[in-house]
Structure 1
Amino acid sequence: MPAPDSISADKLAKLVGTPKCPVILDLRTSDDFALAPQLVPTARHISLDAFEAAPQSMGSGTVVTLCAQGHAISQGAAALLRTQGLAAEYLEGGFKAWSEAKLPTFDPAKLPPSNTRTNTIRVTRSRPKIDRIACPWLIRRFIDQDAQFLYVAPSEVERVGELFGATPFDIENVFWSHRGELCTFDVMLAEFALNLPALDRLARIVRGADTHRLDLGPEAAGLLAAALGLSRLYSDDLAQLEAGMTLFDAFFRWARDATGETHNWPTNKVETSNG
């Protein structure tokens, strides 16, 4: 029977990629992390020493701690967080259980260099449409929940990146950009080694909408229409991003849970006979 202060890998996996995903702290030792240098989506890998200051930046949300196999480190850390008024659980079976269930992870080696911020910061062109909303959604939902995004004039993206320690994306001649027929969203999935069927489905839709290859899937035209509509509704790029987060949340949940569902009307039509 599960402990009342624990969460199973399957249950946590259902929260990953959604607005309800908790803060995830990976407390594996450096030796354990070296054996499997991947992270559960959005997890922060921190040492026990750094963990002492972690509650100050947790806010009031739910926290899940994990260690190699779900023993003393993660259980003790969750218990300590609860004494400080936070809702905290530990991952049953730790990273070992997550990995054995073949649940998604990402490669933290592709994260921007660490700096004085605990979050990452990225910069791209202003007036976003598809990729420049899809990529921030992917980052916040699967890589870094607190990531910041700067939207500036196209000619200033690289210079702003240099001045403010921001990683440029979705512009020409940078690492995080289109490659051949792939859009930036595709590139991020590949580089972070994020393997999840729902994300692959979503990537095809994003690619179709962003590169006007609407033949890639009927949903691509719908995403394009919705994205263009949002760009007309919002003059502020960050307000548009927040609205776009909800749009991509919906597309992700469709891609994960509802691709087989159809809808017709009327649903309660009463059949009559001629007898």
Structure 2
Amino acid sequence: MSSHTSISLDKLSRLVGTAKTPVLIDVRTEEDFAADPRLIPGAVRRSHQDAADWGGEFAGNSAIVVCLRGEKLAQGTAAWLRNADVSTETLEGGFEGWKEANLPLVNASRLPPRDAKGRTVWVTRARPKIDRIACPWLIRRFVDPNAVFLFVAPSEVIAVGERFNATPFDIENVFWSHRGERCTFDVMIEEFGLATPPLLRLATMVRAADTGRLDLSPEAPGLMAASLGLSRMYDDDLEQLEAGMTLYDAFYRWCRDATGETHNWPTNKAKT
């Protein structure tokens, strides 16, 4: 049972992928991380030895600290963070407990290099519609909550990526792109190790809407309509992305929690 300073695996698993996820901080030793270089979705790596130095960057936030088994490293780091005005819990069972529960883990080897502020930086074509909103949503919710996205002219994506150390996505002839009939969102789910039933269902919706095969998913026409509507509402790509985050939050929660729910109108159907 969780205490007031710890969180259960089940509770955290319900928070991961939502806008309410606390900061997740992985403080496993370098040896433990090398033995299994995967991360709980959205987690950042920090050294427990320097907690007194970096704790202040999370001041005013809520955080969950993860070590190998949820013992001394997590609890000691959490205690330091509380001194830095960070509301902090530890994960019961730690990384090993999460893994033993067969919960999703991100393949850290697939993460692009981070910038000086610890963020991954991505670049793609301007005026996003479906895949180029879905992919940033997936990255921010499950891979790197602080990821930066650059939207540029299609002809300049590769050059901007090279000059600004940004990872290109959803253009031809790059790693993070369409593969066969799968769109970039599908590829990211596979490569990052995020193939959970809700995300796979959402991926079918995205693929159907993004590739014009609306017969693949009954929800795809609604996703396409909402996506095209957002592109007409916003001239600024970053404003459109922020609005799209809420859109995909809603579709994800439907895929995870509400597929069996139906509308109850009319309340009194005529008898036949």
Bin of the TM-score, shorter chain as denominator length: over 0.9
The residue aligned with 1:61 is 61
> Matches of 1:164 and 1:49 in 2, distance apart?
32
The residue aligned with 1:252 is 252
Deviations 1:230-250 (A, max 9, x none): 000000000000000000000
The residue aligned with 2:156 is 156
> Matches of 1:109 and 1:53 in 2, distance apart?
27
Asked if the contact 1:105/1:195 (under 8 Å) is kept, the reply is: no
Q: CA deviation at 1:31?
A: 1.7
Q: CA deviation at 1:34?
A: 2.2
Q: CA deviation at 1:41?
A: 0.2
Counterpart amino acid of residue 62 in structure 1: S
> Matches of 1:110 and 1:52 in 2, distance apart?
30
> Matches of 2:59 and 2:225 in 1, distance apart?
36
State the TM-score, normalizing by the size of structure 2.
0.96
The residue aligned with 2:122 is 122
Does 2:21 correspond to 1:21?
Answer: yes
Q: CA deviation at 1:59?
A: 4.5
> Matches of 1:223 and 1:106 in 2, distance apart?
26
1:194-205 pair list within 5 angstroms: 194-205=194-205
Does 2:132 correspond to 1:132?
Answer: yes
Q: CA deviation at 1:195?
A: 2.4
1:62-101 pair list within 5 angstroms: 62-101=62-101
Counterpart amino acid of residue 16 in structure 1: V
From the superposition, tell whether residues 61 and 48 of structure 1 become closer, same or farther in structure 2 (CA, over 3 Å): same
RMSD over aligned Cα atoms: 1.4
> Matches of 1:12 and 1:232 in 2, distance apart?
36
Deviations 1:90-128 (A, max 9, x none): 001101111111111110101112342211110000000
> Matches of 1:228 and 1:10 in 2, distance apart?
36
Aligned with 1:65: secondary structure?
A: strand
> Matches of 2:95 and 2:134 in 1, distance apart?
28
From the superposition, tell whether residues 148 and 263 of structure 1 become closer, same or farther in structure 2 (CA, over 3 Å): same
Asked if the contact 1:106/1:193 (under 8 Å) is kept, the reply is: yes
Aligned with 1:56: secondary structure?
A: helix
> Matches of 1:53 and 1:32 in 2, distance apart?
22
Counterpart amino acid of residue 218 in structure 2: P
Asked if the contact 2:115/2:121 (under 8 Å) is kept, the reply is: no
Deviations 1:150-200 (A, max 9, x none): 001001111111111110100111110001000000011111111211000
Q: CA deviation at 1:50?
A: 4.5
Counterpart amino acid of residue 12 in structure 2: L
Structure 1, unmatched stretches of 5+, are none
State the TM-score, normalizing by the size of structure 1.
0.95
Aligned with 1:24: secondary structure?
A: strand
Deviations 1:190-235 (A, max 9, x none): 1111121100000000000000010111101110000000000000
The residue aligned with 2:36 is 36
Q: CA deviation at 1:271?
A: 7.8
The residue aligned with 2:169 is 169
The residue aligned with 1:211 is 211
Counterpart amino acid of residue 166 in structure 2: A
Aligned with 1:53: secondary structure?
A: helix
The residue aligned with 2:113 is 113
Aligned with 2:39: secondary structure?
A: coil
Displacement over 4 Å in runs of 4+: none
The residue aligned with 1:46 is 46
Aligned residues: 271
> Matches of 2:172 and 2:196 in 1, distance apart?
27
The residue aligned with 2:183 is 183
Counterpart amino acid of residue 211 in structure 2: T
What fraction of aligned residue pairs are identical, expressed as a percent?
59
Counterpart amino acid of residue 174 in structure 1: V
From the superposition, tell whether residues 75 and 153 of structure 1 become closer, same or farther in structure 2 (CA, over 3 Å): same
